[in-house]
Each structure stands twice: as C-alpha cells, then as structure tokens.
A and B are shown apart, each in its own frame.
Chain A
Amino acid sequence: MQTDNDRTYTSLDQVILDPLFPAIDHRLRTGAHIDMDDIRSYEFLLQAEPLLQVFYEGYACRLANGQEGYFYLLSEGDLLGRRRLSGAEMLVGQVLALLRMDPAYLKKGGQIPIEQILSHLEMLLGRQRLVELLAPRTRGRDAEMDNKKIREAVDKAINGLARLGFITIERARESVIAGRSIARFTEPVRDAREMSAALEELIKLGEVELDDEEQQNEN
C-alpha cells in the first residue's frame, strides 16, 4: 500500500487503482486545470505524470504541466473531444491574468471583485469595442440593455472559467480568486517574440486556435 506522504508509482495499474484516479481523470477529461492549491490531486499528478503521459497518449492526449504549477489535459486527436473557450471567456480570462499580476489584490487574499473585471474590460477595450464583443446587436443601441448583456456575458464566462478550474468564485463577496492556471492566458505574450510567432507555436502544440470571427454562442 502507498501512503499519501510517500506515494511512488512504478506501474500504470498502481496509478489507475489509486482511489484518487477516477475523479482526477474525469476532471482532466472535462477540461479542468488542477493546481497546487488542490494539493492531494496535484501531488498525485506530479508523482504519476510519466506513467499518465503514456496512458493518455493512447487517447491522443497530452498531460500538460504549466510552469506556475498546474496540470491539464490537451486532446490532440479525435478520440477525446476538445473545444475552444468562448470569446467572453477569453476576454475575462486575460483580464483576470492581468489583475492577478497587480499587488493591490494581495491584502484581500487575491480576491478580485467582479466590478473590477468589468471596469478593466471597459477601460482596456473601450466601450464601443466591448459592446461589439460582448453585447452585439444588429439594430439600435440601448445603454442599459448593453450593460445588462455585458454583465450576463461576463457572469457566464466567470462560471465557465470556474468550471475549468481557472478561478474560484466567492459569490458572497461578488469576487473571484484567480488560480495559477490563469497564467495560460499569458502564454502568447510570455516572451518578447512577436505575438503572432508565439501563437503559431502554441497552435502547433494544440494549445490555441485562431479565428477571424468570434463565435458568440459558443458554450
């Protein structure tokens, strides 16, 4: 028997028979990111990583380990499905990655108020662009209706990101805490290369997809 503190796996069957495996496997297959804050699951993945790589290769998948300390599964074939995040999720994710780099949220335990996400989105994109992206309409404009639609889109994106383990929602405080895996949103700008070159490489790795049009009704 292995203990939690001294877990070593020498074969795949030991990994699969570990009681932690089914839940972690299911989470990974549904797109979840597992980071060091979930210490038991993270430790399990860290110990079992070489064996799980082989296991997931059979499904044409890759178990990725982000440098900030998190795991996720990427499907590179057809056996397990994959999807891309929605445009709103991408925007909210990027803004959260940016806000996580702001020391102002340290003394609040990393809590980022949803209001701050909304105000940063507007500040960075400009009102018109934000409306185009999150509250598109074919006819007429109504500021109140736009605000409502933007808020709905942001809330939906927040819920989606939380399901994928990028963030934790603090509903009582109307705020979110961004986890380590939010750093995935910084991948294309991590080094000084042109963003297009970085994206090209990420596409090859199956991390990213490009499109000329944002698809509003995804997810």
Chain B
Amino acid sequence: MKHLSVADSIAKTWSLDFTLQLDREDAAFLAGIHIWLTINPDPTLDEDQLRNIYRIVGEVAHSDPASSVLRATNAIARLREQRLMVRTDTAGIIRGGEYSLSRMGNAIAEWFGEQEGLTRKSLEIIMTQIRAGLGQIKVAAEAGGDDDHWESQVSGPLKLTVAQLIEGIERRQQGMDVQQEQIREGIESMLEENWFEAVLSCEDLLVTTSEALQELHKVLMHEVEGMSSLLGEIEELCEKNLRPESTEAVDHVRRQIERIGGWGENRFATWSEYYQNVHEFIRSVISVDPDRAVRTRLRDAIKGYGRPEFWFLNVCDQAPYVHLRTDSDDRPSPAVERKVKPMEEMVEEAGIKLVPLERIEEKISEKLRCDGRVDLFDVLSEHISGHTIHEVYTLAGELAEWLIKRGVPLPFLDQSWHPLGNGIEIQTLTVRKREP
C-alpha cells in the first residue's frame, strides 16, 4: 500500500490533462442518475432511461422540450468525457449502451445529496464493528499460518474491511464539516437579519453543536486509544512472524485512526473558539447595541467626519526619558605630552615579527618590470607562510602603499574579499607599470 508523494501525485495528475466542468444542468443530471441507481435494482441505465431523467432536468431548468433529446445526448457525452459516467457494455455503436456512474461521479452526486453527518450513535456502531474486526484479526495473527492465511485473515481484512469502515467515519466527518460551515453561515445570517432577536436561537444552535462535538470528541478519544493499543499488538505479531505486508496494512489503518482522532480534537477546539467569538460578539456588540442604532450612527459619523469639525481621541504619551548631562566645560584642557614610541619598538613589544618589505621589494620591482603588472593578493600569498596574522596584516598595508607609489592602480573590477590564510581577508589591488 505505497503512497505517492505530494509531488508525484501532482505530476501524475498534471500529466492526465484532466479538467472537470459541471454546469448547473449537468450537476442536477448527475444527482438524478445517482438516485435512480440507488433506488432501482438495476446496476445500469440505458439511454432511454437517461433521457427520461434528463427530461426532468429540462423541466426544472425551463428549457425548450423540443431540444431535450439533443441536449440529453450532449450531457451524456459530457459526463462520459469527464469520466463521471462509464459505459458498461461492449456493444459499441450498433445499439444503445448501458451506463453507470464512475466512482468519481458517485462521489460528486453523493456530495450534492444530503451530507451524511456523524452522530454519537453512528460513530459508536462503526467503532464497535472496527473493534470486532480488529479483535478477529488479532486472533488470526496469534494463530499464525501460511502466506495465504496472513493474506486472507490479516492484511486483507485490514485493507478492505477495517480501512473501509474508517473511511465511512472520515466521510461522515467531512459531511459534518460541511454542516458546521452551514451552521456558521446560518448564525451569521440570523444575526445580520434579526440581530438581538436572533440571540436566543443562535445560542441554542451553538450549544447543540458544541454538545454534539463534545460527545463525538469523547467517544473518538476513548475508541482511538483502545484501537491504537489493539493495532500495536497486531503489529507486534506481524513483525514477530516477519510479515511486512501485514505490518504495512497495520500502519495504514493506524494513520487513518490517528486522522479521525485528530479531526475530533481539531474540530472541537475550532468550534470552541468560534463559540467564544460568537458569545463575545453577543455580549460586547449586540447587547450593547440591541437596536443597531450605534452601528447606524457610527456609519453616519464616518460619512460626515470633519464636518464641521474633526474629533480626535486622546492617548497618554509619556515623553521618552531624558538622560541629563552636566554642561560641558569649555576651558581648554592642558596638553599632556606623551612620548610616542618608534614603530619598531611597538612592533617588537607586541611580539610581531615583521616581514621586511625590503626583503621582497626587489623581487616585486622585477616582477612589475617584466610582467608589466603586480597583484597584491598574489604577492602576499607567496610570502605569508610562517607568519602570524598580525605580521601579514602589517605587510599588506605597507605593500599596498608601496605598489600605489610605484605603479598605476587598475580599476577595481573584483571587489570581493579573498581569504589569506586563517583569519584575514583582503580585497586585491592590481597595479600596472608606470610608463616612462
């Protein structure tokens, strides 16, 4: 059960060059086909049946009945092109075909239908089935057996039965997300339309939804914990019997279970936050302005701001602390004579061993004469071995001065810093020979 990476999935889907486009009529047609297939024993429909369904769509849309057949044919073609409907026979063009909805068509049509929510009862029923299934799988894993046994009794039921039951919960959770979104929109429009009069009904709606979510959260937390330990035991048995495929199936189910548990936690927290926001809104906005008069007056006040006068709110604004300082004394301070030591003495005291410029001066002059140019970085690189950073630093300064005096500096095309041994970087300087 290998999962594609996000990037692989995007690349694969992109390469399919698939687009989905459903207008109002096609969507209604799809929903009609779905219900027909649900309530009839036949797993497929023929073209006449499809046209009959489309006729209802035409009536709802008030379209011209004369063109109904043609439009039905086009709609069928569009649904097939988009892989929402599949042809299930192999008769080709000799006679009319048999059609059914694809998985995608069914999923979309189900979404259009009433969203299946998650109730405590439905959750408990599914959870009991999952627990029972996992219990049987654990017994089978304990018993052990050949490859066929592990496939049919452990990994197979995990992948098909248990995983599908959990998918049922996930589907209901998604349905509940849609319901919550609708409740939020409902609260918003109730407050907008009825303001203070809507407070009680909004509070009821909030409390009911909060209680339902809290119940689900509790059941989920309890069941997820129990199932995780059961899965842990099954996984241990799979590993002990060296059954990687079964271990992988356990992992897949565990991820699903974690996801449904995470959903409960997340939605409960989100709803609690929303609950608080609405209550805060009721308390600080609606209760303070029950007839919405402040809102109207404020709107008018903004429209007329500055007419006849501008008004401004005041705020405290403590001036920054001033650091006091005594007045400066303007009297000249007596000069203190300091004995400046000669450079050589200071260098010696600092323990710096200088590379005498004189030692390399001749070589550089020669290079400038023959090559026509000298580069500071090249010269220093050649002469730094065995010297400290301080010595190289001093030499670099002297040498730069020497080069500028004797050559013509070339424009700085390269302004980057080049490392010169450890701890020192220089920008290079290139000079060319002075013309006589």
- Does any Cβ of B come within 8 Å of A81's Cβ? yes
Interface residues of B in 170-196 (CB under 8 A from A): 184-185, 187-188, 191-192
Which residues of A sit under 8 angstroms from B187, Cβ to Cβ? 103, 106
- Does any Cβ of A come within 8 Å of B297's Cβ? yes
Of the candidates A28, A103, A183, which one forms a contact with B284 in the assembled complex, judged by CB atoms under 8 Å apart? A183
- Does any Cβ of A come within 8 Å of B317's Cβ? yes
Chain B's nearest CB lies how many Å from the CB of A120?
A: 8
Which residues of B sit under 8 angstroms from A208, Cβ to Cβ? 311-314
Q: How large is the interface on A (under 10, 10 to 19, 20 to 34, 35 or more residues)?
A: 35 or more
Chain B's nearest CB lies how many Å from the CB of A160?
A: 10
Given A94-B302, A98-B302, A100-B285, decide whether A106 and B311 contact each other with a Cβ distance below 8 A. no
Contact indicator per residue, chain B 293-310, by CB within 8 Å of chain A (1) or not (0): 111011111110110111
- The answer to whether A164 and B315 touch across the interface, beta carbons within 8 angstroms, is yes
Stretch at the interface among A9-17, A43-51, A168-176, A188-196: A188-196
Which residues of A sit under 8 angstroms from B273, Cβ to Cβ? 109
- The answer to whether A80 and B316 touch across the interface, beta carbons within 8 angstroms, is yes
- Does any Cβ of B come within 8 Å of A204's Cβ? no
Interface size of B in residues (CB-CB distance below 8 Å): 39
Q: How far is the CA of A190 from the CA of B231 in the complex (A)?
A: 61
- Does any Cβ of B come within 8 Å of A104's Cβ? yes
Which residues of B sit under 8 angstroms from A107, Cβ to Cβ? 184-185, 188, 274
- Does any Cβ of A come within 8 Å of B319's Cβ? yes
- The answer to whether A90 and B311 touch across the interface, beta carbons within 8 angstroms, is yes
- The answer to whether B281 and A106 touch across the interface, beta carbons within 8 angstroms, is yes
Contact indicator per residue, chain A 1-45, by CB within 8 Å of chain B (1) or not (0): 000000000000000000000000000111100000000000000
Q: How far is the CA of A1 from the CA of B30 in the complex (A)?
A: 71
- The answer to whether A188 and B302 touch across the interface, beta carbons within 8 angstroms, is no
- Does any Cβ of A come within 8 Å of B269's Cβ? no
Contact indicator per residue, chain A 51-70, by CB within 8 Å of chain B (1) or not (0): 00000000001000001110
Q: Which residue from chain B places its CB closest to the CB of A213 in the assembled complex?
A: B310
- Does any Cβ of B come within 8 Å of A162's Cβ? no
- The answer to whether B188 and A103 touch across the interface, beta carbons within 8 angstroms, is yes
Given A106-B277, A109-B277, decide whether A125 and B315 contact each other with a Cβ distance below 8 A. no
Known: A75-B317, A106-B188, A107-B188. 8 other contacts (CB 8 A): A29-B316, A83-B315, A84-B312, A87-B312, A90-B305, A93-B313, A185-B298, A211-B312
**What are 9 A-B residue pairs whose CB atoms fall within 8 Å in the complex?**
A73-B316, A83-B314, A90-B312, A101-B294, A106-B277, A133-B306, A184-B313, A186-B294, A212-B309
